[in-house]
Structure 1
Amino acid sequence: MTPEEERLASRRSFLRGKVRSEEETSSEEATSAGGIAGSSTAPGAYLIQLTRKVMACQFEVYLNALGPGTETEAGVAALDLVTELEQQLSAYRYDSEICMLGATAYLRPQVVEPRLFELLKLAVQLHRDTHGAFDITAGPLTKVWGFFDRDGKVPSDKDLASAMSLVGSNQLTLDQENQTIFFDKEGVELNLGSIGKGYALDRCQELLCEAGVEDFLVHGGTSSVLAHGVRRDGKPRDGWEVGVPHPLRPDRRIGTVHLSGEALGTSGAAFQAFFHEGKKYGHVLDPRSGKPATAVLSATVIAPTAALADALATACYVMGPDETEALLPKYPEVSVLLVQEGRRRGSVETIMLGGMDERLALASTS
């Protein structure tokens, strides 16, 4: 039997429930701070958890463990789709569609796959709405600060200025009729790290719904969550209960929210940072200044789609309270939680906008 035949046979066995693979874990609760809130061990309380390492994080699909489990195959197909999307969206693969555009779109307009074109349109619109706080062309900044290679460094003024000259989504020309993109100059590049995982979750939702799966929750790492339907464990539920991670303590939550037919995204830099001469530099950069954003500790957004939740979480983290509040009239279906340093060392303070105070149940010790 060839390796491919063995893989397919293993997958068929897994889908029939005959083996327990790295893509299947039956659990009572998710243990991550940003995961599903704990559930009881009453009949029907268990979950089917499908996981895969992709897009530099752990993607997870949760399904209610009720009935014969025929929805599992759709969950695996959703993870297969994320693997395919990584090949299209990754800034770390030289042959991805994103990287190929960076290598050719400054020479002449390049045709873009239709779904990706719509995602780029959303990103450019968000760039305008946030006055540049969200920018998918900020890749040169990520590189000059060393975050692309996970080797943080403070750039020289000359190197920073050079990177800044390549940043700005106003240097992208999207042609709706011909479905093409053109870059104004050589060196402009796309990095969808602030919206790509959310987009992948949205695509997973489409696939699962088309397969007839009514209730599910999908994670992209601990920062991106999308929920559909209800967590069915014999208790009265309003969707799925999801933990909002604490920006300073990875083992704790700020609180919990209930999601159904919507998504949550969180942006923060507490755990991806470096120190230089006693100063901490986080990986979320303000594309307008070229420097790490410092307005808040974290930003969490609830939105109708995961792509929007992810993108706005990044933008709100960069903008801070005042600019975020000014933005929200354009996005009436969006709720935002901003977390700032508290007055006491190690404490935090919360700012809730867009009705977040009606959505978030704060943890008693946050």
Structure 2
Amino acid sequence: MLHRVEHVMGFPVSLRVDDEGVPESAADAVFDWLREVDARFSPFKPDSEVSRFGRGELERRELSRDLVEVLDLCEHYRVATGGAFDARLPGRGLDPCAVVKGWSVQRAADLLRASGARRFILNAGGDVAASGGPWRVGVRHPEHADKLCTVLALTDGAVATSARYERGDHIIDGRTGLPATGLLSLTVVAPTLTEADSVATAAFAMGAEGIEWAAALPGCEVFAVDGEGRVLRTEGFPTAGERSAVA
């Protein structure tokens, strides 16, 4: 069994692999990739590809295939949310972090599978990609740090939560330029962490209307706590004890 925890991209990343015979190099590849992503895509590093493109020092035709993919995802969610989700907010530089996190950790999960891992869980700052479960994943209560508001059973898929409790009102509604405050937290279960993380952030930026929007997306299940503390969840959200898997 492999077990490793490192601080990468500004948050703790923990990896557990329960398969026999998976080499330590598989974990090395995961964390090497995440460190590479941090160097290339962080808007907080002035020499990163993202920062250089944001300043106009690179043209789109000069960008790496990875960054083009990330930018295309950002544009997809900008259009899909009517501008609520936007990696280019007025007065701010290019910041695709809301897409980069889930996209990069999903790529790390794909590296694990390529190495032969079939039963693993990869937790990046509370956003999780898992395989071979069921794994029990707790979702923090948005108002009480020492409590959980739900526990879900994750077999093969991913879960991500957007909320105000860690970084305050940091998610901006691109339509208004103001912090999104209509929800306390929103959790999305999806087939990949690329989708789960992007959808959770995009829906949170939309406010209360984002719950229905996210729930209507194929393969997505939603658990949300609105601004008044009411809990809303889709029928297929895989709470612990259920045998259903994320497909």
Q: Same fold (TM over 0.5)?
A: yes
- State the match for 1:95 in structure 2: 47
The two structures, once aligned, show a CA RMSD in angstroms of 2.2
Residue identity matched to 2:17:
L
Residue identity matched to 2:239:
L
CA contact (8 A) 1:245 1:252 kept: yes
Query: How do 1:349-360 residues align onto structure 2 when only pairs under 5 Å count?
Result: 349-353=230-234, 355-356=236-237, 359-360=238-239
Q: Do residues 300 (structure 1) and 187 (structure 2) align?
A: yes
- State the match for 2:103 in structure 1: 199
Q: Do residues 333 (structure 1) and 237 (structure 2) align?
A: no
Query: How do 1:40-119 residues align onto structure 2 when only pairs under 5 Å count?
Result: 48-64=2-18, 67=20, 70-104=22-56, 108-119=59-70
SS at match of 2:46: coil
Q: CA 1:354 to 1:117, structure 2 compared with 1: closer, same or farther past 3 Å?
A: farther
- State the match for 1:221 in structure 2: 125
Residue identity matched to 1:295:
G
Q: With the length of structure 1 as denominator, give the TM-score of the two structures.
A: 0.61
Residue identity matched to 1:316:
A
What is the Cα deviation at residue 361 of structure 1? 4.6
Query: How do 1:133-152 residues align onto structure 2 when only pairs under 5 Å count?
Result: 133-138=84-89
Larger Cα-atom Rg: 1
Q: CA 1:326 to 1:354, structure 2 compared with 1: closer, same or farther past 3 Å?
A: farther
- State the match for 1:157 in structure 2: none
Output one character per residue of 1:78-100: Cα deviation in whole Å (capped at 9) or x when no partner.
11110011111101111111011
* In structure 2, distance between residues paired with 1:113 and 1:255: 39
- State the match for 1:243 in structure 2: 138
Output one character per residue of 1:16-49: Cα deviation in whole Å (capped at 9) or x when no partner.
xxxxxxxxxxxxxxxxxxxxxxxxxxxxxxx642
* In structure 1, distance between residues paired with 2:176 and 2:231: 25
SS at match of 2:143: coil
Output one character per residue of 1:214-242: Cα deviation in whole Å (capped at 9) or x when no partner.
111111112x1110123xxxxxxxx2111
- State the match for 2:77 in structure 1: 126
How many percent of aligned residue pairs carry the same amino acid?
30
SS at match of 1:264: strand
* In structure 2, distance between residues paired with 1:349 and 1:327: 17
Q: CA 1:259 to 1:337, structure 2 compared with 1: closer, same or farther past 3 Å?
A: same
Output one character per residue of 1:237-256: Cα deviation in whole Å (capped at 9) or x when no partner.
xx211111111122221111
Output one character per residue of 1:79-125: Cα deviation in whole Å (capped at 9) or x when no partner.
111001111110111111101111226x8544221122122212211
Output one character per residue of 1:164-199: Cα deviation in whole Å (capped at 9) or x when no partner.
xx7xxxxxxxxxxxxxxxxxxxxxx32122121111
CA contact (8 A) 1:328 1:354 kept: no
* In structure 2, distance between residues paired with 1:131 and 1:354: 26
* In structure 2, distance between residues paired with 1:116 and 1:62: 28
CA contact (8 A) 1:226 1:263 kept: yes
Residue identity matched to 1:244:
V
What is the Cα deviation at residue 313 of structure 1? 0.8
- State the match for 2:244 in structure 1: none
* In structure 2, distance between residues paired with 1:91 and 1:203: 20
Output one character per residue of 1:238-295: Cα deviation in whole Å (capped at 9) or x when no partner.
x21111111112222111112233111111112323xxxxxxxx12211111111111
SS at match of 1:333: coil
Unaligned runs of 5+ residues in structure 2 are 242-247
Unaligned runs of 5+ residues in structure 1 are 1-46, 141-162, 167-188, 231-238, 274-281, 343-347
CA contact (8 A) 2:214 2:222 kept: no
How many matched pairs? 241
Q: Aligned to 2:200, which of 313, 317, 321?
A: 313
Q: With the length of structure 2 as denominator, give the TM-score of the two structures.
A: 0.89
Q: CA 1:70 to 1:132, structure 2 compared with 1: closer, same or farther past 3 Å?
A: same
* In structure 2, distance between residues paired with 1:111 and 1:241: 43
Residue identity matched to 2:183:
V
CA contact (8 A) 2:73 2:99 kept: no
